[in-house]
Amino acid sequence: MANDLPVHTAAPPPRIPPTRVTRGYQFEMLQESLHRNIIIALDTGSGKTHIAVLRLKHEMEREPRKLAWFVAPTIALCEQQKSVIKSQIPVSVGIVSGANEPDQWKNAALWERVLRTHRIMISTPQVFLDALRHGYILMGRDISLLVFDEAHHAADKHPYNRIMAEFYFDLPPRTEDNTAENVRPMVLGLTASPIYGGNVEKAFKTIESNLDSTIRAPRRNREELAQYVHRPIFKHVMYIRSEDAFSTNLAALSAVLKTMNIENDPYVKSLRSQLSRAGLGSPEYRRIDQKLSKVIEKESSFTHKGLRDFERAADDICNDLGPWSADWFIWQVIERAKKAANPYDNMMVTWKPTEKRYLLDILNKIVVSPVSYYPDDIADDCSNKTEVLIECLLNEKATAESLNDSYTGIIFVQRRDAVIALAELLKNHPATKGVFSIGVLLGTSDSSHRHSMMDITRNMVESQEDTIAEFKARVKNLIVSTAVAEEGIDIQECNSVIRWDPPPNMASRTQSRGRARKQRSTFTVMFEAGGQGQEDVAKWENLEKQMVAQYNDPRRDLALLDDNSPAEEVEDDELQFVVPSTGALLTLHSAVSHLDHFCAVIPNSTHVDNRPVYDLDPPEFPEGWHAFDSHLKSKPPYSGPFGSTVTLPRTLPLPERQFTVDMVYQNKTSAYRHAAYKAYKALYDAGLLNDNLLPITSVMKPELEDEVKAMLADVEKREGLAKVALSIDPWRPDEPTEDLWFCSAPLNDKAILYAREYTRTVFWGLNNSRMDWDDLDFSYLFLPIDSTVGDGWEERRAWLAREAAANPERHRHHLMVRADEFGKKFGYPTDLTFIQRHMGSGRPFKFVAWRYDPLSEDEETELREQYAKHLEEVEINYPLLAVRAYPPRTNLLIPIKPRDPGEDEPAEAPIVYLLPQHSGVVLLSEHESEYGFLLPSVLRSLSMTLTAVSLRNTLFSETRIAEVPIPLLTNAVTAPVSGERLNYQRLETLGDTVLKFVVGIQLFAEYPLWHEGYLTRKKDHAVSNVRLAKEDIKRGLYRWIIRDTMLGKKWKPQYFTTKKSVEAPPSPISPTSPSHIAPSPVPKSPAPSSSEADSPSQEKKKPKKVKAKGTQKLSTKVLADVVESLIGAAYLHGGFEFGYECIKYFDLGLKWEPLPGRIAQVLSRVEAVYSDSSAEFFFPPQLSDVERMLNYNFKHKILLIEALTHASYQSDSRTPSYERLEFLGDSVLDMIVTDYLYRAPKNYSPGHIHLRKSAVVNGHLLAYICLKTSTTLSASIPRPNASGTIEVTDDSQEIYLYKCLLHSSGKVLEDQLNAFTRFRLRRPEIEESLAEGIFPWAALTKMQAPKFFSDMIESLLGAILLDSGGSVDVVRGVVTHLGIMAILEHIVNADVDVLHPVSRLSLWAQKNGRQIEYDSRKEGGHAVCSVLVDGVKEVEVSDEWRGKPSQEEAKFTAAEKAIKAFRLRDVGVEYELLKKKKKASSKSRKKQKARAEGEAAAA
C-alpha cells in the first residue's frame, strides 16, 4: 500500500484554489473545535470542509502518533473529501470503502497497513464500524480526531450512532489532567441542518448527546458569514391536482392485471411442489408452508409484485404528470420487459427462466400503443402540475438571462420512475424542447429492487458521472434528480432549485435549498392547491428560526448537560460480547450481518443455499393457511412477544446447528437478532471464529508474513527468492582438526606429499588453466596403484625439469614442452596423450599419430588458414601432429542416451593437423590422462554420496529418517539444475501427495468442528511452498541441496584453502619418486564452498556480478521441493509410518499424532455420536445396496450415512453433509493413483504423472464411475402368462449408486435424471474412445454431470478410509472394484493419449508458430464453435443448445475434430515433443543457407 489505498472509481475532483484565505467565521469555528467537541452548523457553500481541513492539519501537528478519521455517508462524498484534504495537507491520506475494498472487513493486513502508513483516513461509516467491531482498530489507542460529515445522520441505528455508542463512550474522557494514550478522541461534526424535524430542543439534545458534542454556528462573525452565504429567495407555486386523467395504456395494463391469479405463478407452483415432497411435520415442511402462505396473502412473487408496482407507478405518473407521460412510461417499460423476459436474453441475469416465461405470457396480453410525439398531443395530455412547472422554469431562465447570467437548475423529484418520465416529457414538450438540455440523476436503487421487474428502469438513463460532468461543463443546464443530489455529490451552484415534491423533512429542505447558492438564486416548492404544503412550509421556517436561535444562544453553553452518555437506547443494545485480546465486539446490531458473512464464505455445494434460516415463534400463519377457504383466512393480529430459531447450514459439522431464543421479545427483529447473537457466540466458543470475530481462515497468514518476510519477495509467488547461506562442503569436517583423513593404506608425511604432487599431476593436464601449480592443499589425494618407474615418463619429466632449470624463460609451462623439441629428443614416440594446439592454452586434443607424408593441397590450405590468424608466415615442417578433439562429455557416470532405432552411429571426430613447433605435449602417460578424465566423475559421485551421509548424520541422526538408504537420500536432495541422471522431481511429486494425505488426516481429526472450507484452507497453508521453504531454512536443510552442475570447462579439484592468484616463477619440476620429496607441513585452514571449487579462478573473462560472500540464491520452490522429495523417499522406504515421521520432523505448525491414533480419535467421536443420541438412528434402506456396490461392509454405518448426505437433506440432522469426508476421500484417491503411477514400469516424469492422474481423478470421470455403478436386486412378481394363467416371473431391478444420495432438493433430482440420460447416450462413445487409446475428454464433458456425482465417490472413499481404520489397501480394493484402477491400468498399459484436446492443440500451435482461436457462439438454438488457425476457420462443430455448458462441450469437440483433421496423433506427437518448439540443427541451418545462396546465385 502506498500513500493511498486503491480506489475502484473516482469522482471528478472539486475545483480547489491553490491558496485559500481563512475567513473570520471559519477561524472562529476552528478555535472552538480545538477546545471541545462541536458540530458546526453552516449552510451549504459556507466552507465547512475548509474548517475541517484546518482542524485536521492542526491535529497532524499536535498528535504524531495517532490517526485522524474522516467519516462521510457515501462513497462519492468520501472521494470528494479525500481530493480536498490531500491537496491541502502534506500527509498520507487514504480511503477505504465497500466499493474499492469489498473484502475490507475480513482483511487484517489491510487495516495493519492503514494504521502504519497513513495519518488521515477517510471511509464510509459501515466500513469504519466493522473495523472497530473486529478489533482491527482500537479507537482510544489509534485515533485522536473523529470528523463526521453530514452529522445530522447520527441518530437511531445509523452507523454514526453505533460507532459512538459501542466504542466511544466506554473510553475515559479526554481532559487536561487525563492525557493517557487510551482516551476518547475529539469529535468534529459538519452539517447544514442538525435536525430532521419535530421538537428542536429535544432533537438538539439527541444529536448532541449521541456525538458528545455541542451544535455551534459563528456568533462573532455573523455579518461576515452573511456576505459569503447567499440564501436563495424562497418561492412557492400552486397547482391543481387532477384525479380523472385517463391513460389508454394504463387501462390496458390494469385490465390484464385484474385477470391474474397468484396460483398460476411459477413461484407458488414451485412451493406447492416442494411442500408435497417435504416430510410432514419436518422443519423443511413448516418453512415452505409459511413461505407459501405469505406469498399468497401478499401476492409478493416476482411477477405479481413487479406488475403491481409497475401499475402503481404508472398511475402516480398519470395523475402527477399527465396521460402522455403515463402512456410513454408503460410503453417503454413493457417493451424493455419483453426483451428482458426473452429466454435467450441475458439483460437481467437475476430473472429466472420460469419467471421470464410467465411474465412474457402476461405482457403479451397487454395491448399498448406507442405515444405520439406531435407537439399538440404532448401539450394536451399534460397535467396542470406539469404546466405550472414549465412556466416556472421558463420564468427562472428568463430572469437569469436578463441579469446576463446563463441558467442552471435542478428539479428534485421523490420517485425514481417519476424522474425518468418527467425528464422525457421536458425533452419533448414544445415549450421546453431545445430550450433546456436535460440530464437525469437517480443514484442507486435500494435493495428491494435488486430482484424486481422495475430493475429495467436502471437502463433507461445515462451514467451519473457523465451527467454531472456535462452539467459542470454547461453542456446540460437542467437536472431532474432524486434526493441523491441533495448531499454527497459535487454539483455547482445553481440559479434555481425546484421541489416537484415538498421536502419530507427539515434536513432534506436545507440540503436541497443549499444547491441554490448563487446570488439572487431561487428555491421554489410546488404545492397542491388546498393541500398541507403551505402549512408545512410555515412549519419548516419556524423550525429553522428556532434552530438558529438555539445554536446562537450563548446561554446554551451553560445549560448543556454534563452528562456525556449517549441518548437513551432500547434494551436490545445492552447485550454485547468483547474479545479481551483484540477488543472485537459482538452486538445485537452486528450479529445478523456477521452470521450471514460466516455462512457466505462456506464453500458452496450444488443446489444448496448456505444462508442461515430463521424461523419465527409463533409462526406468522397457521399451518396450511394457504389451503384454507377464503372465509377462513382472516388472521387475528399478533403483536408479540416473539421468539426465533436460526438454523445453520448442514455443511457445518456442529453438534447443534439450531439456536433458539424464547418468546420474550417485543418484535420480530429483536427475536432474530438474539437468535443470531446466540449462534455467532456459539461459533466463537467452538473455535470457528478468530479473535477478531471473523472466520478463522483469516488467521492462517500472519505467521508466514512475519517469519518468512526476509526470505520472500512475494508470499504468493512460487518463485520468490531467499538469500541463504552457502552449501556444505562434503570433503571438509564440520569441526577443525589436524588429522582427519580417510586412507586406503597407512601413509607417512613423505607419502602424503608425494600423493599431493601426484594428484596435481593427474588433474593438471585438463584443468591447468583453473589450478595454481604451487597450491597442493587438495581435499582428496591419489596415489598410483602400480609403480610408474620403467614406463619412460619419469625420464621425460626429469629431462624437462633439467631444461627448465637451465632456461626457465623457454620452458614457462608446467608439465608441457614444445612438440618439435620433444619429438627430436625422444625419437617421435607414439605413446603421447594430450596435445595442446598452442602452448599453455585451450582444451587438449587426443594424440593420434605423427604424419610424415606430405599434406594434400586441400589439407595444406586448411592448415595454413588455421594458423594464419596467429602467424604472419606459416612454415610447415614434417612430421606433423595428427590429433582429434575429445568428446564433449563431462560426467562419465551418466549413460549416453540410447540411439533411436535406425539412427546411425555418431561419426568420430575428424583428424586435425597441428604444427609441432607451435604445439605442446603434456607429459602424462596414458593411465594418468585416463585418470584425469575419469576421476572428476568419480569424485562427483563421492561428493553427492558424502553430502547425503552428512545430511543423515547431522540433521536426521536422531530420527528414523536416518534409516532411509543413502542412494535414495542422495536422489532426494539432488536438484534438476545439477544435470544429474537422477534428481528429486519424481520423489517430490510422490512426496507432495503423501504430505497432503497425511496433513489431511491430521487436520480432519484435530478439528472435528471445521467445515471443508476451513480444512482445505488450513491444509493449503500448511503444505504451501512458502511454509515448506520456511521449515527448510529454519533447519538449515538447504545446505545439503545438490544443485551445482558439473561442467568440464569449469571443473577443478577441490582445495582446503583458496589462494589469491599470484604470478609464480616458472617451475616445471614434476613429482618423481618419494625419496626426492622433502616433507612439508599440512596447512589448517577453512574450506571453500563447492560453488567456489567449481568456478574458474584464472580465466580472463568479462567482469561478472560478484555474489555476496557466503550467500547464494535459492528459489522458494527448490527449498520446498526438497522437503517434499525427502517425504517421498521416506515413504518409499518405510510406507506411511516413515512418511509421517519425516513430515513430523518439519513440524509445519501442526499438532502431530501417528495416523492410527488420529483415525482412532475420529472413530471414537463417531461412536460417541451414536451412543449419546437420545433418539434411535434411522438407517436408510439403501445402505445395504451401497455396500454391495462398493463390495465393502461398514462397521460404522453413520459414516456411510454421512458420505451419502447432501447438504440439502432436511431429515435427521445429527449427521453433517458429506463435504468433510469428500475432503478426505479426495486425498486418499490422489494417494492411490499417484503411488501407482510412480511405481509404473515406464518411470513417468512428473509431468506425465500429473497428466495421467488428472485424467483419472477429475470430476468428469468420477461422475461417470458414479453413474455406471449399480447393483441388481433380485425380485419376482406374479403375472399372467400368454395362456392367461398366473405364474411367478422375474422382476429384478437395477439400483444405481447415484440414486442412493440422501437429499431434499428437486433440483438435485432433476439433475440426476438429466445426467443419467446423457450418461446412457455417451457411455458407448466413452468406452469406445478408451479402447482406441484416446482419453474421452469431450464425451465425458458432454454428460454435464454436476459436481455432487464425483463428490459421492470421494466421500465414500473417505468414509471407507476411516471405517477401515485408515487402511489405504482397503480403499485401493474399493477403487479397484469400482473400475477406477482398471481405467488407470489401461491408460498406462495401452499408453492412452490423456493430453486434453485443447492443450494438445495449443501446444501444437506454439511449436509451429501458429495462432489458435475459438469462436464460441449461439446460433439458432445451437451451440457453435469454430477453430481458427491464423484467423482462418479450419473446423466447426454445432450441437443443440442445452445451457451454458454446451459451449464448453462444443469447444472440446471442435478441438478434438481439429486434432483429427490435422492428424496430430497419427504422427505420434508426444507431450514432451509438443512442448519443444522446432529448432533447426546447425547442419540443417548451413544447408538452408547454402541452398538459399545457390538459389540467389542462379537468379
Q: Grid coordinates in use for 820?
A: 618439435
Q: Cα separation of 1143 and 1022, whole Å?
A: 11
Query: What is 994-1006 written as a DSSP string?
Result: HHHHHHHHHHHHH
Q: Which of 1074, 71, 923, 1063 is CA-nearest to residue 488? A: 71
Q: Given the DSSP bridges, would you call strands 920-922 and 834-836 parallel, antiparallel or unpaired? A: antiparallel
Residue with cell 604432487: 757
Q: Cα separation of 126 and 153, whole Å?
A: 13
How many DSSP H helices and E strands does the chain contain? 51, 33
Which of 389-393, 693-697, 698-702 is the most confident on average?
389-393
Give the total residue count for the chain.
1499
Q: Is the pLDDT of residue 401 over 70?
A: yes
Q: Cα separation of 1463 and 917, whole Å?
A: 61
Average pLDDT, the chain: 80
pLDDT digits over 581-634, tens only?
A: 888 889 888 888 889 888 877 877 777 878 898 988 888 888 888 777 765 667
| Amino acid letter for position 298 | K
Write down the pLDDT at residue 1068: 36
Write down the pLDDT at residue 1121: 93
Q: Cα separation of 614 and 617, whole Å?
A: 10
pLDDT category of residue 454 using cuts at 50, 70 and 90: low
Average pLDDT over residues 217-242: 79
Write down the pLDDT at residue 1455: 84
Identify any residues that bridge with 219 across adjacent strands, giving them in sequence order: none
| Amino acid letter for position 601 | V
Higher pLDDT, 990 or 1094: 990
Q: Is the pLDDT of residue 1125 over 90?
A: yes
pLDDT digits over 1453-1492, tens only?
A: 888 788 778 777 654 445 455 444 444 444 444 444 444 4
Q: Which of 692, 673, 464, 674 is CA-nearest to residue 585? A: 692
CA atoms within 13 A on the CB side of 1369: 2
pLDDT digits over 250-270, tens only?
A: 999 999 989 999 889 888 888
pLDDT digits over 632-682, tens only?
A: 667 677 888 999 999 998 888 888 888 999 998 888 889 999 999 999 999
Q: Given the DSSP bridges, would you call strands 496-499 and 409-412 parallel, antiparallel or unpaired? A: parallel
pLDDT category of residue 735 using cuts at 50, 70 and 90: low
pLDDT category of residue 570 using cuts at 50, 70 and 90: very low
Question: pTM for this structure?
Answer: 0.75
Q: Is the pLDDT of residue 843 over 50?
A: yes
pLDDT digits over 777-792, tens only?
A: 898 888 887 755 557 8
Q: Grid coordinates in use for 989?
A: 511429486
Q: Is the pLDDT of residue 1013 over 50?
A: yes
Q: Grid coordinates in use for 399?
A: 430572469
Q: Is the pLDDT of residue 713 over 80?
A: no
pLDDT category of residue 533 using cuts at 50, 70 and 90: low
* pLDDT > 90 fraction of the chain, expressed in percent and rounded: 23
Higher pLDDT, 1326 or 1047: 1326
Write down the pLDDT at residue 557: 54
Segment among 53-57, 650-654, 961-965, 1224-1228 with least mean pLDDT? 650-654
pLDDT digits over 1298-1307, tens only?
A: 999 998 887 8
Q: Is the pLDDT of residue 450 over 70?
A: no
Q: Is the pLDDT of residue 851 over 60?
A: yes
List all residues 6 or more positions away from 1420 whose beta carbon is below 8 Å from its beta carbon.
none
Write down the pLDDT at residue 75: 81
Average pLDDT over residues 755-759: 90
Q: Which of 699, 751, 884 is CA-nearest to residue 108? A: 699
Q: Is the pLDDT of residue 1190 over 90?
A: yes
Q: Which of 201, 89, 213, 202 is CA-nearest to residue 151? A: 213
How would you write 2-28 as a 3-class SS string?
A: CCCCCCCCCCCCCCCCCCCCCCHHHHH
From the number of C-beta atoms within 10 Å of its C-beta (0-12, 13-18, 19+), residue 1019 rates as buried
List all residues 6 or more positions away from 7 whose beta carbon is below 8 Å from its beta carbon.
79, 95, 100
Average pLDDT over residues 982-995: 94
Taking only Cα atoms into account, the Rg of the chain, rounded to an integer number of angstroms, comes to 44
Q: Are 98 and 75 in contact (CB under 8 A)?
A: yes
> Considering Cα of 780, then 784, then 788, then 792, what sign does the dihedral take?
negative
